[in-house]
Amino acid sequence: MASEIPEESKCQNVYLGKSGLRVSNICLGTLTFGESNMGQPGQLDEAGSHALLNRFSERGGNFIDTANVYGRGRSERIIGSWLASQQRDRFVIATKVFFPMDRSNPNSMGLGRRHIMDSVEQSLKRLKTDYIDLLQTHVWDDATPLEETLMTMNDLVRSGKVRYVGASNVTGWQLQRIVELNKQMGFNACISLQQQYSLVCRESEQDTFQACKLNGVGVLPWSPLKGGFLTGKVRRGQKPQEGRLAWSADDDTLELQSAPTWAQLNKTTNWTALEAAEKIAKAKGKSVAQVSLRWLLQKSVVSSVIIGATKMHQLDDNMDASNGWTLSEEEMRQLDEASQPEIPYPYELIRRLNVRRNNPWNATGYV
Ligand SMILES: NC(=O)c1ccc[n+]([C@@H]2O[C@H](COP(=O)([O-])OP(=O)(O)OC[C@H]3O[C@@H](n4cnc5c(N)ncnc54)[C@H](OP(=O)(O)O)[C@@H]3O)[C@@H](O)[C@H]2O)c1
């Protein structure tokens, strides 16, 4: 089966940030695996999930992202039952910790030592493995001292239960604090940042990604297609009729943050970005999803893009962004320009006043 996929259309391997870990430049996100705990439609059962994993692996993918909380453990369990039939050391398994697994237990949430340790033990059992390649903090925790979190993560690396540590959903100063504290304490470095990033979500470029560049932290964009919006299946002014976007269209509840509402999608800036991607896709004979993913892959801070899929043809479509073609400098510029969000103060002022302050010996550059 593997021989049917031509080598040149398989995923490329890249370094994850400045670490020595090699991952495929497409990471398979598994939020769609197993019955959703949020009632999300289009979720995959075990057989459907395993079919996607098989295909992903045949196409050169080795990097799989999950979280303890996805389907309250169901996603990790499905990966575990698949991994048991695979050569474990061929895959890089990333999971996360923060969200509550049992709301009746006050210690079942956050980034305190007790929850991180318990969560990792449970993840290992569900994943049927004795080590996690990348353990990521799912979101910044205001309640726990950062020292406690980082020391626990470091202890897990020293014990061999975790190989590398990463973060998700943080601001620039928070990431810089993580990096510096790890250095001061002689802890393992944070090698990656999983952050929402797409043609319609570029806010992290202002600050967080500058901290990534400065410290060699590889960015792993999540929701790269904004839940399906950047595939061209939603037209300007017409509410989505199918899939996750239709389900979340009129719901503003906090829990649905990974599924944008119609109010969040229906903005002039989003349509402008989408239509620029559509134009380039048409001219190049590529899909809108491929152009949107390729734009991310060509950003210097990005290591690997975390895709999501509910159907095999979506996986294939998305994986075709990984190799064998590029967007030209001019196409990148057009997409950058069409999707440029308003830059807030002080970022805009600093940028404007530094337009001619170009010292190649002191180049920070923008993402
Ligand atoms: N760290 C975090 O806080 C965080 C948050 C969210 C996600 N994540 C990670 O990021 C991964 C990806 O996020 P995401 O699922 O939101 O990604 P996404 O790419 O923005 O959206 C994926 C959804 O879009 C639709 N889709 C995907 N490819 C398509 C294609 N080629 N054509 C048409 N429709 C397509 C499918 O939904 P329908 O079939 O329902 O339309 C699919 O489930 C997750 O699995 C998870 O691992 C992390």
Predicted pLDDT of residue 259: 81
Residues 6+ apart with CB under 8 A from 266: 237
Which alpha helices (DSSP H) does 73-192 contain, by range?
74-83, 113-127, 146-159, 172-185
Instruction: Provide DSSP, 92-117.
Output: EEEEEE-S-S-TT-TTSSSSSHHHHH
SS3 for 307? strand
Predicted pLDDT of residue 1: 46
Predicted pLDDT of residue 274: 98
pLDDT in tens, 324-367: 999 999 999 999 999 999 999 999 999 999 989 888 887 666 67
Confidence class of residue 160 from pLDDT cuts 50, 70 and 90?
Answer: very high
Interval 44-48 mean pLDDT: 95
pLDDT in tens, 235-289: 998 888 888 898 888 877 655 566 888 989 999 999 999 999 999 999 999 999 9
Distance 115 CA to ligand 1 centre (A): 27
Distance 244 CA to ligand 1 centre (A): 9
Quick check: 145 pLDDT over 80?
yes
194 lines ligand 1 (CB under 6 A): yes
Structure tokens at 3: 């021989």
The 8-class DSSP code of residue 132 comes to E
Distance 332 CA to ligand 1 centre (A): 23
Residue 347 annotated among the catalytic residues of the structure: no
Q: Which atom of ligand 1 lies nearest, measured to the CA of 311?
A: 39
40 lines ligand 1 (CB under 6 A): no
Give the Å distances, CA to CA, from 2 to 57, 58, 60, 177, 324.
9, 5, 9, 44, 18
Q: Are residues 240 and 234 in contact, defined by beta-carbon separation less than 8 angstroms? A: yes
pLDDT in tens, 290-335: 999 999 999 999 999 999 999 999 999 999 999 999 999 999 999 9
Quick check: 37 pLDDT over 80?
no
Give the Å distances, CA to CA, from 260 to 198, 245, 266.
13, 7, 10
226 lines ligand 1 (CB under 6 A): yes
Predicted pLDDT of residue 250: 80
Structure tokens at 265: 């999608």
Q: Are residues 167 and 178 in contact, defined by beta-carbon separation less than 8 angstroms? A: yes
- Overall residue count recorded for the chain in this entry: 367
* Cβ count near 241 (within 10 Å): 10
Distance CA 336, CA 295 (A): 9
Interval 134-161 mean pLDDT: 98
Quick check: 99 pLDDT over 50?
yes
71 φψ region: left (φ > 0), alpha (ψ -120 to 50), beta (else): left
Predicted pLDDT of residue 362: 77
Q: Which atom of ligand 1 lies nearest, measured to the CA of 313?
A: 31
Distance CA 185, CA 40 (A): 42
Q: Which of 244, 270, 278 to mutate to test the pocket of ligand 1 (most atoms within 8 A of CB)?
A: 244
Predicted pLDDT of residue 255: 57
Structure tokens at 257: 């943050």
240 lines ligand 1 (CB under 6 A): no
Q: Shortest CA distance to 281 belongs to which of 323, 248, 325, 316?
A: 325
Distance 102 CA to ligand 1 centre (A): 25
SS3 for 251? coil
188 lines ligand 1 (CB under 6 A): no
Q: Are residues 275 and 284 in contact, defined by beta-carbon separation less than 8 angstroms? A: no
Structure tokens at 159: 């014990």
Domains of the chain: 2-359 (3.20.20.100)
Confidence class of residue 2 from pLDDT cuts 50, 70 and 90?
Answer: very low
